């Protein structure tokens, strides 16, 4: 099959390219930055397009002849430029849908998120019918919801296009270690600092669904091959708790109210001391647990790794500054981060983290 993947060199895109090329598919990767062939993939045809800018003709050309388009592009930084993040995430999704129609692509697979769901109101895992109104306070969640509403309209207007929506928990893998360091830590903080975290000040109620990038890639591949539509929750069976995080970091957990944590993160973010906006704290304490029975029953999907295992792999990858041969997953060092900050600004302001 000929499959086009937008955002093909990021955390999830790299895993998906490994799987699709291994399985012999004809793969086109749509990327914003020039890229060498990623490690562990077969031959990929590269197309350059910046989805934060008008690029429907370029996308239409790339999509022509495709059996499916997998849309992964999303932005996390600069966290202080919400207009840009919305233009890339929501506006980019709109451009993809327009190009899908123009190119006559029969199948669109959109990467949504657990962040599209409304705040957790029950302890039990929720199915794909749970409301998708988002978590208040989280720009990421608001933009994921806006993209879902856009797809609602698209499906109503174009019933001939099969649309699938993947809703994974937090996606991780070892090779995303350097990228996650750039997104989550100030440039001056070295990776070895993760070995010296004495305490973890978080409210005990934290519980986050998580899933390995390879398992999400497996689900996407199954959706494409089966021509499946609708939404699919993806997560390991065990939610990540503060106790799992403390164990992975080798830290002692101290129960601190979520509101205190949020205010601390908000103040440090507003002061440009660290790149994580406080909406991620709102998201972490409110996302529901995920019932993945639809993916199991209709796709034959089961995760190869449970969420705590994924967390441990991610933390190990961050400590080792693990990376891959793509711009988003490039190696991270303090010296390199400082040089880049001096040249093009801190990660919270620039569009190429």
Provide the Cα torsion 91, 93, 97, 102; round to 10°: 60
- Mean pLDDT to the nearest integer, 112-116: 98
pLDDT bin (cut points 50, 70, 90) of residue 187 is confident
129-140 pLDDT, tens per residue?
999 999 999 999
Please give the mean pLDDT across all residues of the chain: 93
SS3 115: helix
- Mean pLDDT to the nearest integer, 17-30: 96
Return the percentage of the chain with pLDDT > 90, whole number.
84
pLDDT bin (cut points 50, 70, 90) of residue 165 is very high
- Mean pLDDT to the nearest integer, 84-100: 98
Q: Is the pLDDT of residue 343 over 90?
A: no
Full set of structural domains in the chain with CATH: 2-243+274-344 (3.40.50.720)
Phi–psi pair at 239, nearest 5 degrees? -75, 145
Rounded to two decimals, the pTM is 0.93
Give the whole-angstrom CA distance, residue 210 versus residue 309: 9
């Amino acid at each position: 099959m000929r499959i086009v993947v937008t955002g093909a060199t990021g955390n999830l895109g790299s895993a998906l390219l490994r799987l699709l090329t291994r399985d012999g598919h004809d793969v086109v990767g749509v990327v914003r930055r020039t890229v060498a062939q990623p490690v562990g993939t077969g031959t990929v045809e590269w197309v350059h397009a910046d989805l934060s800018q008008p690029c429907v003709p370029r996308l239409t050309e790339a999509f022509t002849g495709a059996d499916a388009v997998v849309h992964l592009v999303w932005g996390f930084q600069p966290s202080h430029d919400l207009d840009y993040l919305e233009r890339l995430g929501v506006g980019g999704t709109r451009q993809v849908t327009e190009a899908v129609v123009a190119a006559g692509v029969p199948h669109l697979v959109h990467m949504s998120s657990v962040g599209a769901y409304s705040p957790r109101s029950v302890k039990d895992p929720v199915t794909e019918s749970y409301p998708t109104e988002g978590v208040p306070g989280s720009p990421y969640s608001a933009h994921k919801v806006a993209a879902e509403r856009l797809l609602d309209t698209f499906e109503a207007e174009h019933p001939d296009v099969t649309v699938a929506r993947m809703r994974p928990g937090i996606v991780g893998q070892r090779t995303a270690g350097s990228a996650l360091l750039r997104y989550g830590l100030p440039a001056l903080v070295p990776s070895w600092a993760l070995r010296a975290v004495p305490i973890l000040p978080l409210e005990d109620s934290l519980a986050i669904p998580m899933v390995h990038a390879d398992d999400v890639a497996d689900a996407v591949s199954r959706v494409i091959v089966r021509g499946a539509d609708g939404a699919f929750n993806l997560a390991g069976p065990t939610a990540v708790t503060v106790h799992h995080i403390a164990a992975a970091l080798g830290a002692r957990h101290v129960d601190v109210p979520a509101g205190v944590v949020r205010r601390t993160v908000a103040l440090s973010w507003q002061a440009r001391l660290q790149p994580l906006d406080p909406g991620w704290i709102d998201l972490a304490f409110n996302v529901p647990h995920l019932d993945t029975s639809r993916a199991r029953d209709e796709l034959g999907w089961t995760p190869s790794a449970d969420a705590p295992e994924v967390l441990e792999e991610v933390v190990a990858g961050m400590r080792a500054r693990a990376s891959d041969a793509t711009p988003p997953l490039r190696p991270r060092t303090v010296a390199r981060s400082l040089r880049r900050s001096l040249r093009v600004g801190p990660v919270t302001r620039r569009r190429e983290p």
